[in-house]
Amino acid sequence: MEAKRQDLNVFGMTCAACSTRVEKSLNKTTGVERANVNLVTESAAVYYDPEQISPEELIGVVKHAGYDAAEKMSKEEKDAVLEKQFKREVHRFILSAILALPLLLTMVTHIPYLHHTAFAMQIDALINPTIQLILATVIQFYIGWRFYDGAYKALRGKSANMDVLVALGTSAAYFYSLAEYIRQLMNPGIEAHYYFETSAILITLILLGKLLESYATSKTTQSIAGLLKLQSKEAVVLREGKEWKVPVDELSIGDVILVKPGEKVPIDAVVLSGETSIDESMISGEPVPVEKKAGDTVIGSTVNFDGAFEAKVTKRMDETVLSTIIQLVEEAQGVKAPIQRLADRISGIFVPIVLAISAVTFVIWMIVTGGVLDQSLQVAIAVLVIACPCALGLATPTAIMAGTGRGAESGILFKGGEHLERTAKVDTVIFDKTGTLTEGKLQVTNVLDVHEDFARFVVTMEEQSEHPIAKAVLAHFDGQKMSATQAERIRAKAGHGMTGVLDGSKVSLGSYRFIAKEVTIPKEADDAMQEWMKAGQTIVSMSIDGTFAGAFGLLDTPRLEAKEAISRLRELGVKTAIASGDQRVVVENIAAELGIDEVYAEQLPNDKSDLVADLQKQGHVVAFVGDGINDAPALATADTGISIGTGTDIAIETGDVTLVGHQLTLVPQTIQLSRATMRNIRQNFFWALAYNCAGIPIAALGLLAPWVAGLAMAGSSVSVVTNALRLKRVKLK
């Protein structure tokens, strides 16, 4: 039996180890063929045998792994759940920050030569150990309980993640401080050392990082809803000679529909009668409307310009081009697994080793001291404190926050740390053409004027049209005064052009083929227009009283900074390519002008996403840069989808990185910043672990008091944060 797909919403996952654990649990279950779990979208796509296992049992497997699950909810239902979770996390962070602020002040009392000053003594008086204990306890066990819960699930699954590190480090600091508090209560004369602020501040900072990441990644799930809004809701169907308005979902293959000028094409169909031009930029990305006549196919949700036509429905609603795009985006997002955090991999080795060293140290000191528990315990705790993963926990989020902050200042918006990490490995960048590498609008590039009334009549005719070509022609004459023209009987000839009577002359304006059928074009003029067409230009020509009067050549021109952006990518060792729905000659000309390595022309949305997938199979890490709805599948499939901020909301939400504005030089800057951030993270790991590796043996020998270990631990955190802040000054070019 063919495997059935069941989509689940999974809640409670906090890191890549969580999604991996859920995925392993499902894949080990009898009856499950395969399962893909996505941390970002909090979803699971499970292919299973319905004769062996039911959806309810699949949900039970996820719950047994320690997470909540439900059958796929509607967007509204899921948004309500996520909004409730997000608000709860915001409230917890605010409470944690308020409670941690007084504890932050106590850090001055740990600094040598300052802890006996009047300021330090005032802090001691105002924030005494009992107050510290109360504040830290609330943060540790109410706000920070999620880390204990996550650590328990990880250890139960025989793995160690960041939750284990956080729980271990904060617990070492908290419980040592608690022991010191009890010891001082029993013997008020002794000097106790408290580290309540260490655990409280670490938990607060990690909560902030999680909060920012949750907010950014939640935006990626909105793209599907945006695509759905594009679909037509109603259609005019012809039955028994009458027009009936029906919901699009009720259309069947073979139904005949009527589409009038200005309306959306409701569903994929083939034209039976009538001629028109249709704006297919939603699919192809190209600004020039496409002429349609009997026998041509039309695509659902595209816009009909200037002629009514009848068409026969050829596809069901779930098979249309737009529905296919929606499915591609869903599937591409569903199989995108976030990169396993380096910190989680380190923790899988580091945490067990530290625990073992601490335990061995305790046993050895018990033997050496003849069973002196107090001294043995202090040495063992010193090992844990010096090994506290505060710096390791800060290594990634501080660098990512600094890197993304620097990016935001430059107009580069990353949707999460995993996207920044993945972008650093990009070796191939594919650009969409129209609206990305080019201006996205036609411009008059050549003019052939052989009649004294040509320009005047062109303006008069084009003023009657809303066509994109008309707007480009009028923009060409903007500011020039044209003498008044008496215009009569101006009519749009669907799919071809316009006709009319101007100052008593019969005038036709339209495509090369339209005018060539009406008049004989002089050889010199015809040769010129043929050259324009070879260069990929759109031709608009005119005849006056049966005589050729002139022509325009229009082209979508490259952006001024496009060539510079391609050059900088080459300097970074990145290969470039262009993918476009336009004809090959146009795409090749643009590529040659800009110095782009590879050309892929006449690409539909699914072709672009297939192209990305093919390059990935060859071992390339691919970034796709686009701005249109037609780019959404490729943006979602790419290792890094880079969307232009001036593009459509769908492209922006589907992409992993959004460029504010439309400066293409931001593309190489994005890769440069990502690489700098990843270098910074590796440096942070070095400094974080260097303190631990140097301090652990010293502490194990009993040469490091717990408060000194705490100071060294704080020093490692300071070095990590200071190093991360260097990213704020990195120069992008």
Look up residue 394 and give its two tokens. Answer: 């800060």
Q: Which of 163, 255, 279, 432 is catalytic?
A: 432
Q: Which residues in 343-363 are b (16+ Cβ under 10 Å) and which e?
A: bbebbbebbeebbebbeebbe
Alpha carbons 489 and 492: distance in angstroms, whole number: 10
**Which of 428, 433, 429 is CA-nearest to residue 602?**
433
526 is annotated as an active-site residue: no
Cβ contact 7:78 at 8 Å: no
Tokens describing residue 90: 């915001």
The contacts of residue 447 (CB under 8 Å, 6+ apart) are 476, 550, 551, 552, 553
Q: Exposure string (b/e) for 645-670, b if CB count within 10 Å is 16 or more?
A: bebbebbbbbbbbbbbebbbbbbbbb
Please give the Cα distance from 120 to 194 (Å, whole number).
14
Per the document, the length of the chain is 733
Compute the CA torsion angle 213, 214, 217, 223 (nearest 10 deg).
Answer: -160
* CA-closest candidate to residue 261, choices 72, 467, 489: 467
Sign of torsion over alpha carbons 653, 659, 662, 668: negative
Identify the DSSP state of 335.
T
Beta bridge partners of 500: 507
Rounded CA-CA distance 321/649 in Å is 19
Which residue's entry shows tokens 């300021």?
119
**Distance between CA 668 and CA 647 in Å, rounded?**
19
Contact 237, 246 (CB under 8 A): yes
Place of tokens 């209560």: 185
20: Cα separation from own chain's centroid: 21
CB 577, CB 429: distance < 8 Å: yes
CA angle 139, 144, 147 (to 5 degrees): 160
C-alpha span between 645 and 411 (Å, rounded): 9
Structure tokens at 505: 């002359």
Q: With H, G, I as helix, E, B as strand and everything else as coil, classify residue 198.
A: helix
Chain centroid, CA 654 distance in Å: 5
CB atoms under 10 Å from CB of 260, counted, come to 11
Regarding beta strands 443-449 and 598-600, do their DSSP bridges make them parallel or antiparallel, or are they unpaired?
A: unpaired
Name the residues annotated as catalytic.
Answer: 432
